[in-house]
A and B are shown apart, each in its own frame.
Chain A
């Protein structure tokens, strides 16, 4: 197990490096570099200024040189300075990361809180009107874009109930009630969208498990249906569903960008969007690095979780 753990951990490094290389190169090949954007329509008037700025931000170096410099600094914990604001990226991320993290966790909790009962009920009452209704709900939630749902909630929330999202963000430590007030709606929108996938998957795995011999045996022994479902069927039905958590992390990262924008949350997603629009390379690279590490780590955690959930799964020692 120890060797497997170390082997898997090492194998993650090329993935993270690969992602950073792709992002590093891709963002630089987008039309309009950061200096061009800083100069705007003064660009043609200031060729010498352009060269000076390129030198100042070390953008005159070759791509491999720039990348090597960034990696060395990142390993020291220095993710650079935002070209546009002049502030250290690490300082900005310290303020923004908790917002995105909290939004993500709340969205996942809402997703699972919705998906578990719906998936189970849908499987238990297969092909009944309730099943059709819940399947319709899942497909509907999958089909509705999150940004549209968010704008709809903001607009109709005011029209019908005079409700507006709180204007200002307060962190959990500043004011827990206001914090939950502002984060609950974006987390709900994001969570309902994510829950749809889990609902669909859980329904099908539950249907499969409920037809297994050991479930029939449990019922034959006279166990109450609730015990059969929750103690015997659900743990086994959840095993493939757990992998979906890892797959949902990238969706979550993308979703937070949109939610943070619409609800004016000071998180990483909002920061990333502005940085991409303005080609603020150090910010884009830092957030991408963090996102890549998060996604890779969550996949890794799920791999390990597999063994804990299913004792039949053993890790190869090679």
Chain B
């Protein structure tokens, strides 16, 4: 219903997509959303998108529509929303259980509410066909080969857009095949690792490369299971943070190669809120962070050793260091190897445990069911407050570090219900500052990604929304075109 605002690509501001306008009640409990009258579903439905469809989609999302089952993340909305009603064909009313400031940005999250026609399951089988109201009409899926879409001439944000007539998404699971196909001119775009940038820049004359940072947070977290673990002492957690050279982690993403070829790369350090959130991100090297806390982010192995000694571990300790090599790509894997080396340099006896993402990492370590320390990425969100709620609030089941801090709980509860944007921004910064002081999690460098486009692709560099988590298809592809 919402999407990132095109006017400010470096923030999380939103704009209407299906929504034409909205109103929020004074107590923050009622959101009234007016839908665009010109939004229509794709064939075979082909009718206007109505408020009833939004109500149906919400019921389907939480598993209450006939024949539906809840989405795995249904509680992210169900815990907040009291009811959804259609006031008239184009007006939807969301009533919340409590004032929840980030509600609209949650509606812009592509992981949450998809608006589907209420004929879903009867007029078409959603396992075989996608029917929405966006810029691309689903034409077909060839198993393990490609997805085919054609331009939606009736898109409510058209009629001139999308510019392309067709989009084909090829299924190429092997990274090396993707790069070679791009080099051979068979793909319009590819996301190369930094290590392959030079190859691509040399191999394709006129190639366009965009460097981006995204909404994921690469971080270290600590097992909360053992009350006697050394990292229960904040000095140990700070020492671990100070042991890590974040600039070297940035370098591992192939930054030098990119900059050598004139590509501008963001080299920031993430906090618990990633750098892409601009003024809501507490920059570890910025003016808003206290000098004492900023010190914990600076690479200082000597200082780290001193802190360990003060905490009673002059000779370090043995620790399992867990990460997965099957999910986040080669740059992450290199960064994890570097982190293990940094931890050894301050005297820790590091036992590297590499886990399978699907069967071990996501089902145990990410849930906090592990021993030792772990490194991974946190899922992206559309609102900065969500990172803090999920990582730090004691009642949140996705709090992977099992953090139990009443002060944080109170700060988060206040932040969540603060409607005034500037006041909420200050709360978000304060929470980051406090969590950094305790170093409950150790945020690392911002993730850097590169996307390469063939010379004939137009509009990609200028119009690309920096983050992909709102959905490439609706946010980026409608603005691309190809030179003749």
Q: Which residues of A contact B (CB under 8 A)?
A: 30-32, 36-46, 49, 52-53, 56, 85-87, 92, 95-96, 151, 154-155, 157-158, 162-165, 167-169, 260-267, 270-271, 277-279
Q: Mark B172-188, 1 if CB is under 8 A from A, else 0.
A: 11101100110110110
On whether the beta carbons of A38 and B127 are closer than 8 Å, the reply is no
A264 contacts B363, C-beta separation under 8 Å? no
Q: 12 A-B Cβ contacts within 8 A?
A: A31-B359, A31-B360, A32-B359, A37-B362, A85-B127, A95-B143, A155-B176, A168-B145, A168-B170, A266-B143, A270-B144, A277-B358
**Complex CA–CA separation, A165 to B362 (angstroms):** 34
Binary per-residue interface labels of chain B (181-213) against chain A in the complex, 1 for a CB within 8 Å, 0 otherwise: 101101100000000000000000000000000
Across the interface, do A158 and B127 meet the contact criterion of CB distance under 8 Å? no
Does B172 lie within 8 Å of A264, measured CB to CB? yes
Most buried by B among A42, A92, A96, A265: A42
Please name all residues of chain B whose beta carbon is closer than 8 Å to the beta carbon of A87 when the two chains form the complex. Answer: 127-128
Query: Interface code B152-170, partner A: CB below 8 Å = 1, 0 otherwise?
Result: 0000000000000000001
A42 in contact with B398 (CB, 8 Å)? yes
Contacting residues, chain A, for B183 (C-beta < 8 A): 158, 164
User: Taking CB as reference atom, which chain B residue is nearest A32?
Assistant: B359
Provide the bound-state CA to CA distance between A267 and B173, in Å.
Answer: 13
Contacts of B177 in A (CB 8 A): 154, 165, 262-264
- Interface contact A39-B180, CB-CB below 8 Å: no
Closest to B187 in A: A167
Query: What separation, in Å, do the CA atoms of A278 and B144 have in the docked complex?
Result: 15
Once the chains are docked, how many angstroms separate the CA of A36 from the CA of B363?
6
Query: Complex formed: what's the CA distance from A169 to B186 in Å?
Result: 13
Given contacts A164-B180, A164-B184, contact A44 B70 (CB under 8 A): no
B360 contacts A49, C-beta separation under 8 Å: no
Interface residues of B in 378-410 (CB under 8 A from A): 379, 396-398, 400
> A76 vs B396: C-alpha distance in the bound complex, in angstroms?
46
B398 touches A49 (CB 8 A): no
Cα(A164)–Cα(B185), bound, Å? 9
CB neighbours (8 Å) of A267 from chain B are 144
**In the complex, which residues of chain B have a beta carbon less than 8 angstroms from the beta carbon of A96?**
143-144
Which of B71-79, B296-304, B428-436 lies at the interface with chain A?
B71-79
Sample of 15 more A-B contacts, CB < 8 Å, known A46-B72, A49-B70: A32-B359, A36-B363, A40-B366, A41-B367, A44-B367, A49-B74, A154-B180, A167-B186, A263-B177, A264-B172, A264-B173, A266-B142, A266-B144, A267-B144, A277-B358
Task: Verify if B146 is at the interface (C-beta below 8 Å from A).
Answer: yes
